[in-house]
Structure 1
Amino acid sequence: MKKTFLLGFLILLVFAIWTYQNQAAENGPAIKILDKQKGVCWVGSPKPLEGWELDVLGSFGVSHISQTPFGWQSDPNLPEIKWEKHTDRMWWGESLTGVEFTTASAREKGIESILKPHLWVRGQWPGAIEMRSEKDWAEWFGQYAEFILYYAQYAESHQIPILCIGTELELTSGKEKEWRDLIGQIRDVFGGELTYAANFTEYEKIRFWDALDYIGIQAYFPLADKNNPDVGSLKNGWNRRIKEIEKVQKKFNKPVIFTEIGYCNTEDAAIEPWVWPNERKEVALSEDVQAACYQAFFETAWQMDWLAGAYFWKWYPQPRDRDPDFTPQNKKAQEVMRSFYTAGF
């Protein structure tokens, strides 16, 4: 009886070791990020900076900023894209002249930049971009390739470490072949790391994460279903989201970046975090809720080994006195951010 039991135990042990080894071979070694990107989304200034505007970032522990030059698409269903190549009518900070100055000024202060070009669609968000024919799809991807390669070449020549190849292009990202072809073109001219900023409703559907260096998520996840939630309920909301993210992270064995994350200073900030401030003007202000959202994030998702960094939307060169708004500047949320950004990792 004892021999039978011992034999059965050994068989189970061998099977368990075999299963573990096969899973490890399939998924690769576990990821543990030791030096997280402590980021904010830098707002391009309408006028040239003097240089001092970035001085305060170091005191908040910020190690990275994302910079966003824009392209413009007048109709989400027509394949015409314009960008700096076609016009100089843009804010200084969103031009390559402004990006270059900001990058150099930030580096002098020990802060690195990532480049995150973004399409601005008139009257819509980029997730509405969708062509009506294969001919138009081919034309759109051709123009988009020219747009993103313009910035990829700039990023390479200025040693930008990370390029975000697209943002919230939710109805385009199902075109897997076209995106893989585009990633190959970008790799030909840019030697740094690549990510794509998928909307929180999009990232689970993307099939080309294996071709990139990071899984990028615009992390505006709903965390509550009522106003004025406490930190405990917000953490519960994050814990549910973390389980969903981990399924994708383990499948592709890539680190994750929250390419954007942010909350307005309003009582309803955690219900639909993506809603623009001008749509919240009738909602009561609350620095406490905004700060609680930051606290819940840092006590949950920020602790994950696979999270390579986060970029808070948004940070102005000069703080603005406008309510409601996403920025944590001069609000309780900035002190929460400071406490965690200066604590380590």
Structure 2
Amino acid sequence: MKPMISKYLFSSVGLVALSFLIWFFIPAENLMKTEEKWKGVCWVGSRQPLQGGEVQALLATGANAISQTPFGWQSEKNTPEIRWDMSNERRWWGETPAGIKATYDSSASKGIMNMMKPHLWARGSWPGEIEMQNEADWKIWFANYQGFILDYARLAEDLKMPMLCVGTELELTSQREKEWRAIIAEVRKVYSGKITYAANFTEFEKVKFWDALDYIGVQAYFPLAKDHNPNLNELKKSWESHLPKIEKVVRKYKKPVLFTEIGYCNTVDAAVEPWVWPNERKEIEFSEEVQALCYEAFFETAWKKSWMAGVFFWKWYPERHQREPDFTPQGKAAERVMSAYFLK
């Protein structure tokens, strides 16, 4: 019997090895076949109730998806308390459960897919710097965060919202794999839709729980230029240098990718550090052209990949405002680029 066992053993091992080699050498553009791509924007919750017709301008661009972003608040990046109150009506209307529902109802009735994407707002910091100083505080923080995300998971389930993002840019917490797997398991108990996590572009390669999710989510603010006013070729070459890192993760976890956020300001330095907030660019020269070129470079590279399941551009206002500079493509050359590719 021993030779027979060895024969089957080596045969099985050979099949596994062959499967691995076939997967490893598949052309990158054929790694993961997705169905229709989600053509999305990050919808800004408005101060006041929608008046009607706000979705029409978005539909005209060819968009078929939005993310909605309610907030929880953390007073300090190193303390475990998280505040959120689903019944607090003093928040902006669009971020309340009633506003989220109304936005969902009005957009879903027009065929627009919604993703619930709660964020944490850390005072004087950003979510990627949230980190506890001892194990006791880590335990409290994860218990609080689980309560926060489960409340929104239940709301998403009640609304039959098709997609939920369980966390955004929590880079110094996502390395705690055991805790995040436990949260994802609890979310699955109350929410039946598709789930992702929005990892910062500096974080996604280190996340180890992608297998527990439906999509690899990336906050795709990759630097694309070293100086102001780059040309399209420079931007496309930069994308080609970043894409292999994403494809390596796709090969490992065999999951499609969502760019849960991507965006560029209408300034000459937009491609250098795309993540920089507009209020830090007040002395920078405006440029619709650079913003539009950044959009075009994305569509001509990453968007064409078969593993790309969708994108959400930061950001889109129900009513266009005049604050400048800003990330929104509304009323700018970038909107025309976005529309041209979304409508193809």
What range is the shorter-chain TM-score in?
over 0.9
Work out whether residues 37 and 310 of structure 1, in 8 Å CA contact, stay in contact via their aligned partners in 2. yes
Matches within 5 A, 1:269-288: 269-288=270-289
Deviation (angstroms), 1:320: 1.2
- Say which SS state the counterpart of residue 60 (structure 2) adopts: helix
Q: 1:24 and 1:163 mapped to 2: Cα distance?
A: 33
Rounded Cα–Cα distance in structure 1 between residues aligned with 2:21 and 2:185: 29
What SS is found at the alignment partner of 1:319? coil
Counterpart for residue 307 of structure 1: 308
Per-residue deviation, residues 173-214 of structure 1 (Å, max 9, x unmatched): 011000001110000111111100000000000000111000
Residue 266 (structure 1) shift: 0.4
Task: Give the match for residue 3 of structure 2.
Answer: none
Give, in whole Å, the separation in 2 of the partners of 1:142 and 1:24.
42
Q: Which residue in 2 is equivalent to 1:10?
A: none
Residue equivalent to 1:21: 19
Q: Give me the whole-angstrom Cα distance separating, in 1, the residues matched to 2:323 and 2:300.
A: 28
How far off is 1:323 after superposition? 1.3
Moved more, 324-333 or 76-85: 76-85
Call closer, same or farther: CA 1:275–1:286 in 2, change over 3 Å.
Answer: same
Structure 2: how far apart are the matches of 1:19 and 1:175? 31
Q: Equivalent residues in 2 for 1:1-345 (5 A)? A: 20-24=18-22, 30-85=31-86, 87-343=88-344
Q: Residues 283 and 24 from structure 1, CA distance in 2 versus in 1: closer, same or farther, beyond 3 angstroms?
A: same
Tell me the CA shift for residue 17 of structure 1.
Answer: 9.0
Alignment CA distance shift 1:278-1:133 (3 Å): same
Shift of residue 89, structure 1, vs aligned partner = 2.8
Q: Is the 8 A contact 1:294 1:333 kept in 2?
A: yes
Give the equivalent residue in structure 2 for 1:4: none
Counterpart Cα distance in 2 of 1:174 and 1:153: 25
Contact kept? 2:23, 2:251, Cα under 8 Å: no
Q: Which residue number corresponds to residue 12 of structure 1?
A: none
Partner-residue secondary structure (3-state), 1:274: coil
1:300 shift after superposition: 0.2
Q: In terms of mean alpha carbon deviation, does 76-85 or 295-304 score higher?
A: 76-85
| Contact 2:24/2:251 (<8 A) preserved | no
TM-score scaled to structure 1, two decimals? 0.92
> Does the residue aligned with 1:308 lie in a helix, a strand or coil?
strand
Cα distance between partner residues in 1 of 2:84 and 2:33: 38
CA contact (8 A) 1:79 1:143 kept: yes
CA contact (8 A) 1:27 1:252 kept: no
Shift in alpha-carbon separation, 1:42–1:27, aligned structure 2, 3 A: farther
More off after superposition, 82-91 vs 145-154: 82-91
1:106/1:85 Cα in 2 relative to 1: closer, same or farther (>3 Å)?
Answer: closer
Deviation at 1:18, TM superposition (A): 7.9
- Structure 1 stretch displaced more, 105-114 or 34-43: 105-114
- Tell me which amino acid in the other structure corresponds to 1:242: L
Check conservation: 1:72, 1:120, Cα contact below 8 A.
yes
Structure 1 segments (4+ residues) deviating >3 Å = 16-20, 22-30, 85-88
| Amino acid in structure 1 at the alignment position of 2:253 | F
User: Residues 162, 180 of structure 1: CA spacing in aligned structure 2 closer, same or farther, 3 A cutoff?
Assistant: same
Structure 1, unpaired ranges of 5+: 1-15
Using the alignment, how far apart are the partners of 2:18 and 2:321 within structure 1?
53
The letter for the 2-side match of 1:23 is L
**Match for residue 13 of structure 1?**
none
- Can you list the C-alpha shifts for 1:282-315, whole angstroms capped at 9, x where unaligned? 1110000000000000000000000000000000
Bigger mean CA offset, 217-226 vs 47-56: 47-56
CA distance in 2, matches of 1:287, 1:181: 44
**Alignment partner of 2:242: what SS?**
helix
Cα separation, 1, equivalents of 2:15 and 2:211:
27
1:314–1:326 contact (8 Å) kept in structure 2: yes
Q: 2:7 corresponds to which residue?
A: none
Conserved? CA contact 2:65–2:113, under 8 Å: yes
Question: 2:10 is matched with which residue?
Answer: none
State the Cα distance separating 1:54 from its structure 2 match. Answer: 1.1
Distance in structure 2 (CA, Å) of the matches to 1:236 and 1:204? 21
Where structure 2 has 5 or more consecutive residues not aligned to the other structure, the ranges are: 1-13
Change (3 A) 1:340 1:87: same
Deviations 1:102-149 (A, max 9, x none): 000001211111100000111110111111111110000001000000
Amino acid at match of 1:152: A
Q: CA separation in 2, counterparts of 1:190 and 1:160?
A: 9
* 1:27/1:160 CA distance change after superposition, 3 Å: farther
Equivalent-residue separation in structure 1 for 2:75 and 2:25 (angstroms): 42
- Work out the CA distance in 2 between the residues paired with 1:128 and 1:19: 41
Q: Helix, strand or coil: the match of 1:165?
A: strand
